[in-house]
Amino acid sequence: MRVLGINALFHDPAAALVVDGRIVAAAEEERFSRRKHGKRPVPFSAWELPELSARWCLDQAGLAPAELDAVAYSYDPELARPAEQLGLHDPWDHLRQEYARRAPEFLADALPGLDPAKVRFVAHHVAHAASAGQASPHPDCAVLVLDGRGECGSHLAGRYANRELSVLSAQSLPDSVGLFYEDLTQHLGFLRSSDEFKVMALASYGRPRFLDRLRAYVHADEHGGFRARPVPWSSLVPPRAAGAPWTQDHADAAASAQACLEEVVLGLARWLHDRTGEDVLTLAGGVALNCVANTRLHNEGPFRRVWVQPAAGDAGTALGAALHVAHQKETVEAMPTAALGRGWSDAELRAWLEQAAVPYEEPDDIAETVAAELARDGVVAWFQGRSEFGPRALGHRSLLAHPGRAENLERLNAVKGREEFRPVAPMVLAERAAELFDGPLPSPYMLFVHEVAAKWRERIPAVVHVDGTARIQTVDRGAEPLVARMIDGFERRTGLPVVVNTSLNTAGRPMVDDPRDALECFGSAPVDLLALGPFAIRRKQVFA
């Protein structure tokens, strides 16, 4: 069975393809269109489809639209109700619903040859749940979904038994912990439905002194749901203008909201564990990208293991919708890797370099060349293999640096044009991680935070956040042999088994995806070396 999954209605449009129960490809539209998050989550953009990523998915499998058995669209307009009935102030939401109802026509127009009758609507939170419960390596598991909103709810709790979902609880709008966090994001001068991770980072600089007041508005209940009503943020802290300096009050508001969110997540998880008795909890929805909350859930929650979908936000619903529809006809396989996007052969990469007339080297081992550059304190743009599905750079589209120099945090944030309070992450071999970091292991998708061992904090200061933690990525030698060789080479030269890994992009731009993006980023940012497949491009040679 050949199923194309589509996420389009709100934000982070994406496409995914499942063929004979196996995930073939998945990619966000932003990587093709070069528009961050693909579009803004407003009703007037709801008609926009991930046309470029959908066509690429089909090309990857050599399929024409007419050969698809189904297209799974991750929203079901039949489940929606008018915004005013949901307690939401969204006067144009009816336009969004109209676009959703007409999605089969729009898809048939975007993918000529597609029969619109093949379009299947999948409830938004069911698609989120499938992206976790059906994509995880655990066919039997509990599943928890939390985000801003779906058709008429903001949460789903359930259980997968042999990949089959039973829904146990769902929270109706207007209560939404996702919207609660989005509201604060906007109040603090950041872009809502985009910059929530900045609030999470800022929270580490504050104290949760407003937590008691927030609990009056946001708290878990006894029935597997929660209350989350609008908070009068201005009564707690003054709003911050975009780009203005942040104050301690702003950091304290972020810390309070973060602590409140964590309490709700823990309460929901405990209720779900009481009902299911499962050992494993799988997570999806935008809230599942909050790695601090995930870690507290792992440390204090009742589940033995927590597995988080690497594309947990709305982009992941494209994959979940496709898996959900495919599972109705056949057995589906677990997600093998997050590297489900575009890739190029060495010959194709060489052709790009020749066409761009860029001087380049072809060393015997690009991993050793990069290790040597990092040991010299160079900054390296690392472009290898297929791009990652989801918001984290996981060793395929990364910016690498020396973790032993504290000034490299400020240096990388300057290179990327980011706020000074945002951390960068360490990449470490899986077999070495426990020596340096205390937390959920392995952590291949960078979705938890870990305490940095005291004896290592002064040795790798660039990756240690103000609270003594780091959001690590563990590297499996079998899955990522090239990355492993690079880390080994760096350790031989420096004694440090860690390199800095942050996403290969600059502020406001999507992650680099194709060779043109890589060359443009290299040309515009002070990066010392670009490792493009097996080729090395040095700044001092290009800009001599």
| Token duo for residue 544 | 């001599």
Sign of CA dihedral 122, 126, 131, 134: negative
All residues at 6 or more sequence positions from 151 whose CB lies less than 8 Å from its CB, including other chains: 75, 76, 77, 79, 80, 81, 123, 124
Look at residues 270, 179, 284 and name the one whose alpha carbon lies nearest to residue 228: 179
Beta bridge partners of 227: 219
Amino acid at 221: D
Helix pair 248-276, 196-203: axis angle to 10 deg? 100
Rg of the chain's alpha carbons, rounded to an integer? 23
Active site annotation includes 11: yes
* Nearest-angstrom CA–CA distance, 261 and 280: 21
Q: Is 157 exposed, middle or buried (0-12, 13-18, 19+ CB in 10 A)?
A: buried
Token pair recorded at residue 330: 């056949």
Return the sign of the alpha-carbon dihedral for residues 94, 100, 104, 109.
positive
Stated as kind and residue range, the H or E segment containing 105 is helix 103-110
Helices H / strands E in the chain, number of each: 19, 22
- List phi, psi (to 5°) of 542: -70, -40
Alpha-carbon distance 265 to 227, whole Å?
12
> Which residues are paired to 283 by β-bridges?
144, 308
Which residue of the set 11, 124, 327, 465 is catalytic? Answer: 11
**Three-class SS state of 192:** coil
Does residue 174 have a cis peptide bond before it, meaning omega lies within 30 degrees of 0?
yes
Per-position DSSP letters for 207-265, written without gaps between them: --TTHHHHHTTEEE-TTS-EEE----GGGTS----TTSPP-HHHHHHHHHHHHHHHHHH
Provide the pairing of β-strand 119-121 with 70-73. Answer: parallel
Catalytically annotated residues: 11
